[in-house]
Structure 1
Amino acid sequence: MASFRYTVIDPSGKLRRGKMEGADEAEVIARLRRQGNTPVRAEPASGSRLATLLSTRLAARRGLPAQAVADLLLELATMLGAGQDLDQALRYLQTAASTPRAARVATGLRDAVRDGSPLSVAMAQQPESFRRLHIGLVRAGEAGGTLGPTVAQLADLLQRQRSLAASINSALIYPCLLLASAAGSVALLLTQVLPQFVPLFEQSGKALPASTQLLIDLSDAASRHGPWLLVLALAGLVAMPALLRRPGPRLLIDRALLRLPVIGGLVQEVLAARFSRVLGTLLGNGVPLIAALGVVREVLGNAAAAAAVDSAATAARGGGSLTQPLQEAGIFPPRTIHLLRLGEETAQLAPMALRAAAIHEERTQLATQRLLALLVPGITILMGLVVAGIVVAMLTAMLGMNDLAEG
């Protein structure tokens, strides 16, 4: 008996991995099918954990970025909507691919489909490019016989998410550059300009004002320990992704982010828009509520919000209300809870979730504009005050030297 690693889509629609003993791959696949799973792959479990990790990382680098996946799905939806069958549409994607990586992904999809696999299984065989959201929606479209419209909705969903993220990132570029320039200006004053005046202050033999002495101490510390502080900061940036992959620290950081003034409100709006849009799209395409919540928690990008969704899924699985655990978590805005509760009571959860998504997407844009309106003048004023404080402290000491000379 040999050991095999397998990847399957279980009856609830989740992508699951594991190990199983069997005589060969065919036996393992047959046993997985008898358990009600849809096998994606089965391969000998050879090699070390390090080799497996390295192969996973390399596979992730071979995957398509989010925008490329959205473009591919949009073109696929266009071809299917024009009346082409799936094989013809995938062949077009092969020839029209803008990059070799996109061509490889399209080729992998077409090869799997030509071998008899549904498109959802073909996508599950490339987890480095396609996520559970993509696979779950496509699977629902296949089950309902509406693959073309479902792929079009999926492409639209991805474009909306990308557009929302791009608008936020674009709005924050200028404040970040302004903050970096302010920090650089202060560092230049402390490490290059102020040290030029220190010998003059020392020669005067007069006690320096407290503000000037504080600046000199800061300048000395920056000159001596600045390189080490820079190295520590860079090391912290490098270690941050690994830290965020640990459940405990990630949960603490995400909760703290939600409590920040101004920024916390923006994060809540983004989470509400993402949660509502994905949930409404999945439910509208026939995905069961529990399976839809399982997909939603993975695309939120916030551990605290994901924990709230887990509580909601547990309550819904037991026949309780979806909105009560979400309200108790205090993460989503009251408007989201109200609209979802109304959807539950009227059996219109999908339409109400999509309506909530539209509202929160608009509010996210407005919140981003307000944040930008506060940050830019705030950083400018802060930079002016800091520079003015440095100049005043230096002038105070120099005027004191002049008084001593005149006396």
Structure 2
Amino acid sequence: MVSAGSEAEAVAWIRRQGNLPLRAEPGGMGITRFLLGWLPSGKLRFAGRRHGLRRAEVTHMTRELSVMLAAGQDLDRAMRFLVETAGGSRMRAVLERIRVALRDGRSLHVALASCPDSFPPLYVGLVRAAEAGGSLPATLEHLAGMMERERALVATIQSAMIYPALLSVAAVGSVVLLLTQVLPQFVPLFMENGATLPPSTRLLIGAGHWLGQYGIIMLFGLFLIGMGGRWMLRQPGPRLRADRLWLHLPVIGMLLRETIAARFTRTLGTLLTNGVPLLAALGIVRDVIGNRAVLGAVEQATDTARSGGVLSRSLGASGLFPSRTIHLIRLGEDTAQLGPLALRAAGIHEEQVRLRVQRLVALLVPLITIIMGAMIAGIVSSLMLAMLGLNDLAQH
């Protein structure tokens, strides 16, 4: 709640604090509802809720709107075209709601903020800054490009991990099938002939029997452990320790750092180049991090910048960002080109993420294949040892 003599005074006070208000409303019953969609809580993440638009739909809408506005079409006609060509009832309803708000005299960013399930505060804040600076078509073009690059990066990681995941499932399934279905078929043969089984064969037979008897209970237990772990990770302390541990893992840790640095610099650079003040931009960026350890470093850097300190020095002291990130941010501060150089850093980090994912997959696939082959070979060799022992018994 902000007490001020007018809406203009309230907005000015919020801006002096380094934040970016979206709308000021006069209070009712002595209570002030001040910002519609406070920017420091926004992520560039488009939730797949029932009434919200999917990320691909928002990207498509943003791209088409930027093209029409750049061609000189007014906003109302552009929105009418989007409503008429909407691909589904959900998208049509959201666009119609925005169009009605525009016809009621509201600005575009206020209309977008009325649909928080579809447009996060980061999106709304960029549109607001673009409306204030008269650069709405260019900003929408940048937004569409930003979302497309983020989708491409996520798709690259997901696509690269599909084959190792399928290979892992196949390996586990093959071992379980051998232990629970194939190996038990030979047990009566061994028992009838009184063969002395090797320790490895007895171990595998026992493991197969245990899986057959308690496999469902084990799966249920793993499910409960997973749910408990998920609950634990929602607590601040365990989540912070887990996030810090992930960042220090040998191979995955560096990949995570590059991914977080790409997201951080891409969002920061986009905000700054579209006229959002540094403190307000940092307030938005801190919520797209997704890692509590890095989030603490960004919050500390924000406090440093608010007190007049050097942003790059505070980020570098955390030791959580790649040195390339710190160097380019420091160069941007020295040359008053922080926004463009942050975007340059984002491009470098995104390329590094792609390369590291390719290397990780190139390492995982043969590693999983070797492990799977060794496990199956161990099972088969144990079975063959028992068969050879049975053959020796028959000869004697």
Bin of the TM-score, shorter chain as denominator length: 0.7 to 0.9
Name the residue aligned to 2:6: none
Q: 1:319–1:29: structure 2 CA closer, same or farther, 3 Å change rule? A: farther
Name the residue aligned to 2:288: 299
User: How far off is 1:15 after superposition?
Assistant: 7.5
**Counterpart selection for 1:91 from 80, 84, 90:** 80
In 2, Cα distance between equivalents of 1:393 and 1:299? 52
Q: 1:241–1:116: structure 2 CA closer, same or farther, 3 Å change rule? A: farther
Q: 1:240–1:152: structure 2 CA closer, same or farther, 3 Å change rule? A: farther
Higher RCO (C-alpha 8 Å, min separation 6): 2
Name the residue aligned to 2:65: 76
SS at the partner of 1:84? Answer: coil
**1:186 equivalenced with 2:179 (yes/no):** no
In 2, Cα distance between equivalents of 1:29 and 1:353? 45
Name the residue aligned to 2:197: 208
User: How far off is 1:75 after superposition?
Assistant: 1.1
**1:227 equivalenced with 2:234 (yes/no):** no
The answer to which of 72-81 and 259-268 deviates more is 259-268
Instruction: Give the alignment's TM-score, normalised by structure 2.
Output: 0.87
Name the residue aligned to 1:49: none
**Correspondence 1:300-319 to 2 at 5 A:** 300-319=289-308
Name the residue aligned to 2:92: 103
Q: Write out per-residue CA displacement over residues 167-215 of structure 1, whole angstroms, 9 at most, x where no aligned residue.
A: 1111111111111111111111111111112233334445432222221
Name the residue aligned to 2:107: 118
SS at the partner of 2:375? Answer: helix
In 2, Cα distance between equivalents of 1:272 and 1:394? 51
Q: 1:68–1:328: structure 2 CA closer, same or farther, 3 Å change rule? A: same
Name the residue aligned to 1:5: none
**Counterpart selection for 1:274 from 246, 254, 263:** 263
Give yes or no for contact 1:279–1:296 (8 Å, CA) kept in 2: yes
Give yes or no for contact 1:323–1:340 (8 Å, CA) kept in 2: yes
Give the unaligned 5+ runs of structure 2.
Answer: 1-9, 39-46
**Greater per-residue strand proportion:** 1
Give yes or no for contact 2:255–2:353 (8 Å, CA) kept in 1: yes
SS at the partner of 1:299? Answer: coil
In 2, Cα distance between equivalents of 1:237 and 1:121? 41
Give yes or no for contact 2:286–2:295 (8 Å, CA) kept in 1: yes
Give yes or no for contact 2:175–2:376 (8 Å, CA) kept in 1: yes
Q: 1:82–1:236: structure 2 CA closer, same or farther, 3 Å change rule? A: farther
SS at the partner of 1:60? Answer: coil
**1:256 equivalenced with 2:263 (yes/no):** no
Name the residue aligned to 1:13: 20
The amino acid across from 1:276 in the alignment is T
In 2, Cα distance between equivalents of 1:15 and 1:264? 37
**Counterpart selection for 1:175 from 164, 168, 175:** 164
**1:371 equivalenced with 2:360 (yes/no):** yes
In 2, Cα distance between equivalents of 1:382 and 1:260? 21
Instruction: Give the alignment's TM-score, normalised by structure 1.
Output: 0.84
In 2, Cα distance between equivalents of 1:119 and 1:232? 51
Q: Write out per-residue CA displacement over residues 33-90 of structure 1, whole angstroms, 9 at most, x where no aligned residue.
A: 8xxx45579xxxxxxxxxxxxxxxx993211111211111111111111111211111
User: How far off is 1:377 after superposition?
Assistant: 1.2
The number of residues matched between the two structures is: 373
The amino acid across from 1:394 in the alignment is L
Q: Report the identity percentage.
A: 52
The answer to which of 226-235 and 133-142 deviates more is 226-235
**Counterpart selection for 1:149 from 114, 138, 141:** 138
Q: 1:174–1:339: structure 2 CA closer, same or farther, 3 Å change rule? A: same
SS at the partner of 1:199? Answer: helix
User: How far off is 1:366 after superposition?
Assistant: 0.8
Give yes or no for contact 1:32–1:38 (8 Å, CA) kept in 2: no
Give the unaligned 5+ runs of structure 1.
Answer: 1-7, 17-24, 42-57
